Structure 1
Amino acid sequence: MASISIVTAVYNRASTLEQALDSVAAQTHPEIEHVIQDGGSTDGTLELIKARLPSNISLVSEPDNGLYDAINKGISRCTGDVIGLMHSDDFFANDRVLEQVARAMEDPAIEGVYGDLDYVSGTDTGRIIRKWRSGSYTMHSLRRGWMPPHPTLYLRREVYERWGLYDTSFRIAADYDAMLRYMVKGAVRLVHVPEVFVKMRVGGESNRSMGRILRKSREDYRALRANEVGGMGALAMKNLSKLKQFL
């Protein structure tokens, strides 16, 4: 059975990190490594983490050049066969998520797994705001702006080794660029597990202001063009597809 590394990049998230840590620790899969890359937190985040040591947690705290640089550092430290992310504001939907990931990865032809995602209220995590039901995909759907929920994506280590980590010249959309690179240029074989893997608090980095929304759109367009997937049409359909998540 595959060993799984979970990367958490964090900076001053003491108010939400404990739930993320608890949800990783509660997973039933027996071989889990939790790699935490801290950017030098000063709000009690480090104390929360250190109180759980020693455990399966591997902690490094040092300055970084932003979220994706921190994630890249974390991935570079991973020892597991399969690598996924747990953002400091998120948490697993149940304690069997990684068990399902490992089961899907028993097929050696499968290079990655993704699931579904619920957006929840930042103040009441039991209240669902949006439901992202991703479904399976084709190249045609990629050209229509489809993408898997990034926090639910698990990839074999070899995918990162062959096709690279996150491009830190993207400040907001490096995840979208990387996923397109893996799926289009890398032609990696992904399988969808039709269950909610992750609960994500609303209010992420990409939509905190109109300026960030516009920057996200510009970076999404750049990713589409760089990976030869599409242009303005794909970008428009990508944004419009989010409307059904509210229904």
Structure 2
Amino acid sequence: MKISIITATYNSGATIADTVESVLRQTFKDIEYLIIDGCSKDGTLDILRRYEPMFEGRMHIISEPDKGIYDAMNKGIGMATGDVVGILNSDDYYTSDDSLSVIAGFFSHNDADAVYGDIHFINEKNPDKCVRYYSSAVFRPWLLRFGFMPAHPSFYVRRDVYSKYGVFSLDYKIASDYDLMVRLLYKHRIKTGYIKKDFVTMRTGGMSTKNAKNRLLITKEDVKACRRNGLYTNIVFISMKYFYKVFEFRI
């Protein structure tokens, strides 16, 4: 079984080394690592080129203009040749060296279409401290109408699922990953599994929670995604996820 890992980059020089090194440390080696760069100007490509020989032909880098992160991810999915595909963002990294081994083991012994687990968030100034733990254990498809979804950075899916049901929609600025989840998990009811494991470490300050304007935008886009895929919801329902998130934060 081969796993394709996709990382979209744009001026990611400050964090990309952590991301790439976490892939290099993985004990599971049957991978291809696809870096889709949007013409970075800050030295990101120079950093990537230094790591490229260490992958012994398993890293592939393209750098060209794109229409944003979801377009870059779609390019990576189109290039992927692995049996399973996952996304690792350019400011995230694998929490442990056996993350991909655990994922590969799951798919080898199950007929599920996708699997997901947990992630945690850190503050850049104190990377050893977890400030928020995002567990996907409680997720059920009906919770999508309330804005809940599995932790997308922990989501690994068989490549043929994308061929059947589509990739990331470019109709959204922030919520295309949520739209994908609604489409795959609610509309098409793909078979999934959950692994109780912290797969990915994320830095705080993502686009969806950057400010009040972005939180309002993602709420509206979540409603749009649900209605587009035949799941009724409204802004009040979707906003309920913010009350739950309070309990994920660690003081």
TM-score (norm 2): 0.94
Please give the per-residue CA displacement for 1:90-124, whole angstroms capped at 9, x wherever unaligned.
Answer: 00010000000001101352111111010111232
CA distance in 2, matches of 1:242, 1:39: 32
Amino acid paired to 2:5: I
Within 5 Å, give how 1:187-226 maps onto structure 2.
Answer: 187-226=189-228
Identify which range, 18-27 or 226-235, moves more after superposition.
226-235
Q: Are residues 1:246 and 2:249 paired?
A: yes
The corresponding residue for 2:29 is: 30
2: CA distance, partners of 1:30 / 1:246: 34
Residue pair 2:147, 2:222 contacting (<8 A) in 1 also: no
Matched, 1:185 2:187: yes
Deviations 1:40-75 (A, max 9, x none): 011110000011223221000000001100110111
Deviation at 1:142, TM superposition (A): 3.0
Deviations 1:150-192 (A, max 9, x none): 0110000011000000001101000000011000122111111
Q: CA deviation at 1:221?
A: 1.1
User: What is the TM-score with the length of structure 1 in the denominator?
Assistant: 0.95
Which range moved further: 40-49 or 222-231? 222-231
Residues 84 and 158 in structure 2, CA contact (< 8 A), matched pair in contact too: yes
Q: Could you tell me which residue of structure 2 aligns to residue 237 of structure 1?
A: 240
Where does the alignment leave 5 or more consecutive residues of structure 2 unmatched?
A: none
CA distance in 2: counterparts of 1:17 and 1:124, whole angstroms: 18
Output the amino acid matched with 1:234: F
Alpha carbons 2:142, 2:186 under 8 Å: kept? no
101, 118, 137: which one aligns with 2:139: 137
- Work out whether residues 147 and 238 of structure 2, in 8 Å CA contact, stay in contact via their aligned partners in 1: yes
Does the CA-based 8 Å contact 1:20-1:92 persist in structure 2?
yes
What secondary structure is seen at the aligned counterpart in 1 of 2:186? helix
Out of 162-171 and 140-149, give the one that drifted further.
Answer: 140-149
Calculate the aligned-residue CA RMSD, in Å: 1.3
Distance of 2:174 and 2:205 partners within structure 1: 14
Q: Does structure 2 retain, via aligned residues, the 8 Å contact 1:122–1:203? A: no
Counterparts of 1:153-164 in structure 2 under 5 Å? 153-164=155-166
Distance verdict in 2 for CA 1:95–1:133, change over 3 Å: same
Partner-residue secondary structure (3-state), 2:128:
coil
Quote the offset at 1:136 in angstroms: 4.9
The answer for the alignment partner of 2:71 in structure 1 is 69
SS at match of 1:125: strand
Change over 3 Å in CA distance of 1:143–1:221 after alignment to 2: closer
206-215 or 7-16: bigger deviation: 206-215
Q: Residue 53 of structure 1 corresponds to which residue in structure 2?
A: 52
Equivalent in the alignment of 1:8: 7
Matching residue's letter, 1:31: D
